[in-house]
């Protein structure tokens, strides 16, 4: 799929960050887009920006929690109706949030919520839209994992279990899907996206849509952490979306996004036994010239 003009794409998590920028860049190439999110106002802003940027593309917004299969089925039916189609060409399973860092100190609800969105949203999204992809003459599934899909850490003193487990699952699922598609639907491809620190609103959205309530006295610190995560990232969401779409055009099944992602990938591959060796791994990584995506905030995930 070398260009996206007159194709139909589904993008989850399109209200902010990489999802929003994927919608905008797809629409700018004349791709028709259906996007879902939990924030209707944010989706409306995405739609307006995309219409201002784009060609004569149809852009529809849909409220949907990707961890809810019934909601995803309703979203699919709305896409079929509002785009007057029996197929789609592109599925970006992009929605995600963080939470449930530790099995000891985090709540079960926060753990389950993070896993249900980050893994369940990809699995259910693929199952829901797969028949529409198969019905097209060509199709592509793009699943967002993370550097935490190959390095399950935020550092030696910051447990990160739910998010990492979900992102490892997304990576493994997508890799296995390559063979499944080759055997059963060879005109459909799959890619796994592994971003480093990208300037998105995931910290703010995790606080808003995660399972745990933020104590009132912690709210200002969370807002500051969310803003710093977005504004001080080494790569913008727009640049990340460009890398992803270029990877789709090039038929890359594995799309690393950001210098930090490339550096961590190389470091883990070079020293897998030392990847969780306290601070030694990060020190060696930095000494080798790697730029760590980690930030000081204990609430900051990598995506």
**Spatial CA neighbour of 88 closest among 12, 159, 34, 40:** 34
Region of residue 157 (left: phi > 0; alpha: psi -120 to 50; beta: else): alpha
Alpha carbons 171 and 169: distance in angstroms, whole number: 5
Q: What is the largest CA-CA distance in the chain?
A: 56
DSSP of 166-218: HHHHHHHHHHHHHHHHHHH-TTEEEEEEEE-SEE-SHHHHHHHHSSSPPPGGG
φ/ψ (deg, to 5) at 68 = -105, 110
Burial of 157 (0-12, 13-18, 19+ CB in 10 A): exposed
Region of residue 251 (left: phi > 0; alpha: psi -120 to 50; beta: else): left
Burial of 196 (0-12, 13-18, 19+ CB in 10 A): buried
Tell me if residue 294 falls in helix, strand or coil: coil
- Known catalytic residues? 163
């Amino acid at each position: 799929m070398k260009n996206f003009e007159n194709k139909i794409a589904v993008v989850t998590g399109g209200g902010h960050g990489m999802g929003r920028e994927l919608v905008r860049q797809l629409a700018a190439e004349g791709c028709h887009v259906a996007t879902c999110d939990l924030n209707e106002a944010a989706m409306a802003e995405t739609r307006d920006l995309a219409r201002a940027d784009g060609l004569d593309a149809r852009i529809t917004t849909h409220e949907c929690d990707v961890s809810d299969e019934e909601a995803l089925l309703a979203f699919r039916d709305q896409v079929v109706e509002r785009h007057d189609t029996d197929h789609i060409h592109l599925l970006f399973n992009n929605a995600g949030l963080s939470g449930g860092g530790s099995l000891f100190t985090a709540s079960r609800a926060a753990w389950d919520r993070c896993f249900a969105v980050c893994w369940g949203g990809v699995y259910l999204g693929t199952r829901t839209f797969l028949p529409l992809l198969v019905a097209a003459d060509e199709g592509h599934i793009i699943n967002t994992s993370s550097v935490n899909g190959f390095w399950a850490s935020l550092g030696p003193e910051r447990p990160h279990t739910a998010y990492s487990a979900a992102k490892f699952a997304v990576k493994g699922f997508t890799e296995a899907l390559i063979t499944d598609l080759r055997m059963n639907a060879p005109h459909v491809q799959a890619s796994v996206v592994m971003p480093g620190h990208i300037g998105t609103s995931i910290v703010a959205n995790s606080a808003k849509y995660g399972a745990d309530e933020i104590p009132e006295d912690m709210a200002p610190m969370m807002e500051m952490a969310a803003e710093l995560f977005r504004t001080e990232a080494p790569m913008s969401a727009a640049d990340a979306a460009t890398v992803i779409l270029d990877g789709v055009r090039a038929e890359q099944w594995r799309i690393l996004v950001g210098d930090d992602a490339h550096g961590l990938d190389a470091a883990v591959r070079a020293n897998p036994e030392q990847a969780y060796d306290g601070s030694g791994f990060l020190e060696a990584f930095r000494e080798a010239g790697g730029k760590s995506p980690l930030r000081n905030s204990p609430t900051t995930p990598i995506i």
